[in-house]
Chains A and B, each alone.
Chain A
Amino acid sequence: MTMTIKHHISDALLMGYAAGQLPEAFSLVVATHLSLCDDCRARFAGYEAVGGAVMECAGAVAMSEHSLAATMARIRSAPAPVSRDAPRRMGIFPAPLAAMVGGGPEAVKWRSIGMGVRQAILPTENGARARLLHIAAGQKVPDHGHRGMELTLVLQGAFRDETDRFGPGDLEIADEDLHHQPIAEAGEDCICLAATDAPLRFNGLAARLAQPFLRI
């Protein structure tokens, strides 16, 4: 992995993912970034170790009398576990994203939402929403704020906003304090995986009117 990643997953999100407390859309973004970033993978190992320590020391509850025999019987009677092929990376899509999409970038069913932007909503459970965004090179995304948290992971190309430049592998974590207007860099079109846990807050009237249909 030669990717130079500058913007990483926050400690709070890593801990939430290690604890198993993120909505599926956020887990997808975190798992996809971890697949690209050894630094975060190593930090993540630390947060999983915290989970081990918490479980180790937080108190045992006696198992039922014949639980060991019952477990051995479960092991013996269960069919040998099927070793499924691990999901694989497909082009610019790391394995967890490829598994969610059911293929690589060519399998995505893009839908134009106007202004040079296309999107595909991914089938994650309720609570937060994940989508792929395809922004034509040089294109501006409508100016918006956030009611909750928005995670944006760049997979191809790059965008800039008021805070910095975000290239492949970079993750932008936007919260209620950030109001931004991302612009895709010239050159390659920008493809991002984004997740939100509340609808965005658009400034322009056109985008606000279109919002219910776009499900952004």
Chain B
Amino acid sequence: MFDMQPCEKPDAPFVADAYAASAARTVTRMGRVTVTEGRIGDDWAALLIRVRDDRDEAAFAALFRHFAPRVKGFLMKSGASAALAEDCAQDVMAVLWNKAHLFDPARASVATWVFTIARNRRIDALRKARRPEPEDLPWGPEAEPDQQAALEMQQDTERLGEAIARLPEKQRVLIERAYFGDLSHTEIAAETGLPLGTIKSRIRLALERLRHKMG
């Protein structure tokens, strides 16, 4: 149905190149987040943090080039026309700019965060429905972000993407259909065999630290 492999990042070298200088500055702020054996995927978080902290339009442009077409593709596979998907993808990227202060790299990768914005936009635009959200926890980006946790979260998410790409096609297509909104809630079966345990443990630990601090 949809070929997920290989998961290309054609614009990544451009990002790495154009942002060498800014990345160096970001290192001071974010410590190890950007300096990981040239793993390009890690840079999205650094770019979004530049949008968050410095309102950096060039960093936003790089995020836009990578994520906007993916949001558009995701929405089209969810049943939106090209025109509606284009319009919603622009909205999603505007939300990314406006809500960048809510992004916490220790909790989610940029791809995950963009997905949640796109999903909510899809529910508004295509299903015209509401989706109650869990209670907010006062665990927004901390003044001193846990840099190791942030790095590991980005890496876990990359590994998850690789694991999905390696799944037998039938299973992979079912997961994709669930997320494209092609399966009803009674048709979704979640026995994916995906390595979700590490992400779960990481968030669980972060929550325990938070509860401890609040307690």
Residues of A that sit less than 8 Å from B by CB: 1, 10-16, 18-24, 26-28, 31-32, 34-35, 38-39, 41-64, 67-68, 70-72, 74-75, 78, 81, 86-87, 89, 94-96, 99-100, 125, 148-149, 197
Contacts and interface: CB of A to CB of B under 8 A. Distances in A.
A60 B66 CA distance: 9
A71 B132 contact: no
B196 A125 contact: no
The majority secondary structure among interface residues of chain B is: helix
Contacts, number: 239
Interface in B65-111: 65, 68-74, 76-77, 82, 85-86, 89-91, 93-94, 97-99, 107-109, 111
A57 B190 contact: no
A195 B156 CA distance: 34
A54 B164 contact: yes
B200 A43 contact: yes
B70 A1 contact: no
Contacts of B134: 31-32, 34-35, 41, 44, 94-96
Contact of B89 (A56, A63, A99): A63
Interface of B: 2-5, 7, 57, 60-61, 64-65, 68-74, 76-77, 82, 85-86, 89-91, 93-94, 97-99, 107-109, 111-116, 118-120, 122-123, 127, 129-136, 156-157, 160-161, 164-165, 175-176, 178-181, 183-186, 188-192, 194, 196-197, 199-204, 207-208, 211
Contact of B74 (A18, A32, A55, A71): A55
